[in-house]
Structure 1
Amino acid sequence: MTDSPVKTRRDGAILEVTLDRPKANAIDLATSVIMGDTFMAFRDDPELRVAIITGAGAKFFCPGWDLKAAADGDAVDGNYGVGGFGGLQEMRDMNKPVIAAVNGIACGGGLELALSADIILAADHASFALPEIRSGTVADAASVKLPKRIPYHIAMELLLTGRWFDVQEAHRWGLVNEIVPGDGLMERAWELARLLASGPPLVYAAIKEIVRDAEDAKFQDAMNRITKSQLASVETLYRSEDQMEGARAFAEKRDPVWKGR
């Protein structure tokens, strides 16, 4: 639907998801539900391998929760949809790579949305903040994720002050992978997506499940779960045609042809 706040573009194994809700791409409950449905369909489509999430325009990626909608009765504790706020941060079993192409301001829930991706590319004019403290609420997902992604004291400063920081600082702390000129952001995102789409999808799934499972586990406990066949994606990989294809391609000195099975 052309009037949907969530636009999609599909090209081969890649899905581009664009948040397009003027004026600032803020997310209300209805938009969050659509985003959740979109990412669930991406997750469950065997033909799709990589997703890109971005915002429409050059000024805003996403400022997070639509406070105007909240003032009109859109409950903050309402139903955000299957993937939680923004459709990504609570999406179960998301075993495919997701790239965030941050095209402008990413604050509050918008920064949390970017943090839900696996790789973050940012335009050279992008800026960030977690200003929830100023409106008397908490950046809950960021409070969980940010101290694990960047130095603890920096994360706490950003959470406790709500101050703005530019893309260079974000890159310095390792919050974004690359800074890209604004007019080349989507070209770079698609270049990276095509690289990932050419790779082994079952290996990606195993990597993502291992990383999720091991996040709060001791090393040996995590390894034991792998060796005791307790991670479904790892077992699928070990019994797959793709693993045999990888070995054959190496022996035959050719590029492998991944089938995802």
Structure 2
Amino acid sequence: MLEENEPLLLRDDAEGIVRLTLNRPQARNALSRELMSALQAELERIGEDAGARVVVLAAAGPAFCAGHDLREIRENTGRDFYEALFAQCSALMQSIVRLPQPVIAEVGGIATAAGCQLVASCDLAVAAEGARFATPGVNIGLFCSTPMVALSRNVGRKQAMEMLLLGELMDAATALRFGLVNRVVPADRLGREVASMAGTIAAKSPLTLKIGKEAFYRQLEQPLDEAYAYASRVMTENMLARDAAEGIEAFLEKRPPVWSGA
């Protein structure tokens, strides 16, 4: 059981990798307003942290995240509360997308509703073989409309509608086939797989990662010709950076690059 004075969110930093752990295992890491506030605040700190290269989002206990805290919702009714709740959650998901550093979801258990949205909002996701995913709001008379935004930007339309309309649990292999996760590994390899992926990313130029992540999401929303024009401008600016010159020199000289972050 979680002690009353134990934080809802844990942070651990090592070699440029920031590991954030949702720490409400007794509530299946449901996104209470307090937990969302803690995660939002930590993401803002990470965004300003020059030493942070990549973020891993994990969870304590057998569940990754069961979505919104239904007990909290039942105890707080009315339009004002609902509007504030969903605005807060939407802002949190966008903060993950807009964070300069890449974010990897380490999914060891169930991820449903807003928990599935959380996975979809991360840049990469690795799941244990026993992980399960669902957007089951339709089963309780509440269509998963906000999870739909992130979900529909990760998987195909037919696959997204299948999840949203049926509300059924989906196994990790199907999530991989749908494109919701990048890799599926045995549970005992999950941490090592994510650490390896994070380490590979952390070794890259932080400036390049920031430029690339921002450009990726911006071009997705643009028509093809505008996307190419925008990406060409981004490439030009990237080429003028010191890290690009260092990377090219290091490649030609057959040595590891030394990144300056500029």
How high is the TM-score relative to the length of structure 1? 0.90
CA distance in 1, matches of 2:91, 2:105: 13
One-letter code aligned to 1:192? M
Alignment of 1:155-166 (within 5 A): 155-166=160-171
Which of the residues 11, 18, 24 maps onto 2:21?
Answer: 18
Following superposition, the deviation at residue 244 of structure 1 comes to: 1.3
In the TM superposition, 1:1-261 aligns within 5 A as 3-23=6-26, 24-57=28-61, 59-73=62-76, 75-78=81-84, 84-85=88-89, 88-91=92-95, 93-227=98-232, 229=233, 237-261=238-262
Check the 8 A contact 2:120/2:154 in 1, yes or no: no
Aligned residues with identical type, % of pairs = 30
Whole-Å separation in 1 of the counterparts to 2:56 and 2:237: 25
2:56 touches 2:105 (CA, 8 Å); kept in 1?
yes
Distance 1:51 1:88, change over 3 A: farther
Distance 1:205 1:193 in 2: 15
Cα distance, 1:199 vs. partner? Answer: 1.0
Higher helix content, 1 or 2? 2
Q: Shift of residue 95 of structure 1?
A: 2.2
1:124/1:179 contact within 8 Å kept = yes
After TM superposition, give the deviation of residue 226 of structure 1 in Å: 3.7
Higher mean Cα deviation, 206-215 or 117-126? 206-215
- CA offsets, 1:68-113, max 9 Å, x none? 01112273332578xx428741117312111000010000000000
Q: Deviation digits for residues 174-231 of structure 1, max 9, x if unmatched?
A: 221111111221121111111110012222112211111111211211122244x4x6
| Secondary structure of 2:44 counterpart | helix
Q: Which runs of 4+ in 1 moved over 6 A?
A: none
SS class of match (2:93): coil
Q: Distance in 1 between the 2:258 and 2:117 partners?
A: 35
**SS of residue matched to 1:154:** helix
Shift of 1:146: 2.4
Q: Secondary structure at the match of 1:46?
A: coil
Q: 8 Å contact 1:125–1:182 — kept in the other structure?
A: yes
Contact 2:25 2:63 in 1 (8 A): no
- Which amino acid is 1:33 matched to? S
Partners of 1:143 and 1:184 in 2: how far apart? Answer: 30
Helix, strand or coil for the counterpart of 2:56? strand
Structure 1 residues without counterparts, runs of 5 or longer = none
Q: Provide the TM-score with structure 2 as the length reference.
A: 0.89
Contact kept in structure 2, 1:86 and 1:113, CA below 8 Å: no
Distance 1:80-1:132 versus aligned 2 partners, 3 A rule: closer
Q: What is the DSSP-based 3-state SS (H/G/I as helix, E as strand, rest coil) of the residue aligned with 1:217? A: coil
Pair 202,29 (structure 1): closer, same or farther in 2 beyond 3 Å: same
The one-character-per-residue Cα deviations of 1:17-74 (angstroms, maximum 9, x if unpaired) are 00011311111111101100111111111110100001102x2000010000111227
Q: Are residues 44 and 79 of structure 1, via their aligned partners in 2, closer, same or farther at CA, if it must alter by over 3 Å?
A: farther
CA contact (8 A) 1:29 1:78 kept: no
